[in-house]
Amino acid sequence: MSDDAVLDALVAAEAGLVRAWAAVGDLPPAEAESITAVWDSLALDVEAVARSAVDGGNPVIPLLSELRRALPEAQRGWLHRGATSQDILDTAIMLVSRGAVDVVLADLSRAEAALVTLAREHRDVVAAGRTLGQHAVPTTVGLRAAGWLSGVRRSTGRLRSLTFPAQLGGASGTRAAFVELGGAAATQLPARFAEALELDHVGAVWHTSRWPITELADALTQATDALGKLAGDIVTLTRTELAEFSVGVGGGSSAMPQKRNPVAAVLIRSAALRAPQLAATLHLCAALSEDERPAGAWHAEWPTLRELLRLTLGASAHAVQLIAALRVDHDAVARNLALSRGLLLSERLSIVLTPRIGQARMAALVASAAAGGDLTTLLRELPEAADLDIPGLLDPAGYTGEAGAAVDHATGDGAGEVRS
């Protein structure tokens, strides 16, 4: 996502246009290759292009001067033939975005595989579920990992479904110059342009219909959301007083040498906190894309989208590292599960006992347990519970519902859909 990468993509877009003119038969292929070969060997000064971009409001204008200067006079007419600056810049942004998304997808695939393993290995490790920060009912470590997996998997699907269209509309999106210059053959030019760059051809010009940008932004944000959820849970579960997970060595503190900070999780959360605001900016830009070329809204997209892509690239890379380093402390999980002395089974007890003893007595029994009473003793004192398997009733492993089946479904080890 560097300036050099964007500059390379701009040159690639101009080369793609030359090859497209050759593909529709207006330019001999050998001459097209001669032109693009000159540009391939050209050493461009990215800082000089950036400085000069201020005068014209975008970097394509100074780049054209450099590309034109490198060509013989007879070939210069094929540079930027019929295109407008937005065509080239939008196409370049799609090129770098596609490359970045490919990297993110590769990282998410590795993260998904690691989460499948984590969920399978800890399918039946019972843990305290927490709602609003407090013990709720039992869950499993495997189900928690399956939840992370579900988020990553859905975001992966969203990213894979993205369209990365080339842009070729001419000055006002009418493609009039292409028709004037190339006649009937020029109607195929946008498709050949996309084909030359291995981008999508969507037919319509999207100069001020910015759905390729906002759909990309939404998919990137969904990915950082999913990774942020995972990272947030890891930050909580690696707390010293919980310590259900650890993330290996590293993450030291300059002042507190005993610390092992979950740095990868922290960096992922940082990205997840910033990404939605960047996506919101891109939606605002799309909504304010007036006329046939936006004045300012288009320009605001470039740094915003690049930053969002950088954050997602970083978050996905850190996620691979984080998941690989995760270790479950089974003793800590069991210790925390026992902290509420069976009260996290109150829902189960209520379901079983209320029909036998009524709501008032059930509420009193839970209140007694919460005040320090021993649940096993309290239950054994109930005549109505004499026929119940009290140890089994108070076993958290017996009240995890469909957790195991949900893990199997998420990891591909089971059949059928799990009920919600």
Q: Show the CA angle centred on residue 20, arms to residues 18 and 23, nearest 5°.
A: 120
The two three-digit tokens of residue 272, written as one number: 């997840």
Provide DSSP, 208-243: S--HHHHHHHHHHHHHHHHHHHHHHHHHHHTSTTT-
Q: Which residues pair with 327 in a beta bridge?
A: 246
Q: For the chain, percent helix, then strand, then coil, each to nearest 5?
A: 65, 5, 30
What's the number of CA atoms in the CB half-sphere (13 Å) around residue 364?
7
The count of residues in the chain is 420
- Rounded Cα distance, 107 and 319, in Å: 8
Report H helices in 168-296: 176-182, 189-197, 211-237, 263-287
Q: Report the run of H or E that residue 140 belongs to, with start and end.
A: strand 134-140
Catalytic-residue membership of 253: yes
From the list 293, 335, 341, 361, the catalytic residue is 293
Beta carbons of 143 and 57 less than 8 angstroms apart = no
Cβ distance 95 to 197 under 8 Å? yes
> Do 357 and 349 contact (CB within 8 A), yes or no?
no
Give catalytic status of residue 289 as yes or no: no
Cα(322)–Cα(262) distance, rounded to whole angstroms?
8
Do 163 and 112 touch, CB atoms closer than 8 A? no
Among 51, 253, 327, 380, which one carries the catalytic annotation?
253
- Token pair, residue 135, equals 């013990």
Structure tokens of 141? 């470590």
Nearest to 152 by CA among 274, 304, 322, 266: 322
Q: Cα–Cα distance between 56 and 34 in angstroms, integer? A: 29
- Are 92 and 100 a contacting pair, CB within 8 Å? no
Neighbours of 174 (CB within 10 A): 12
List active site positions: 253, 293
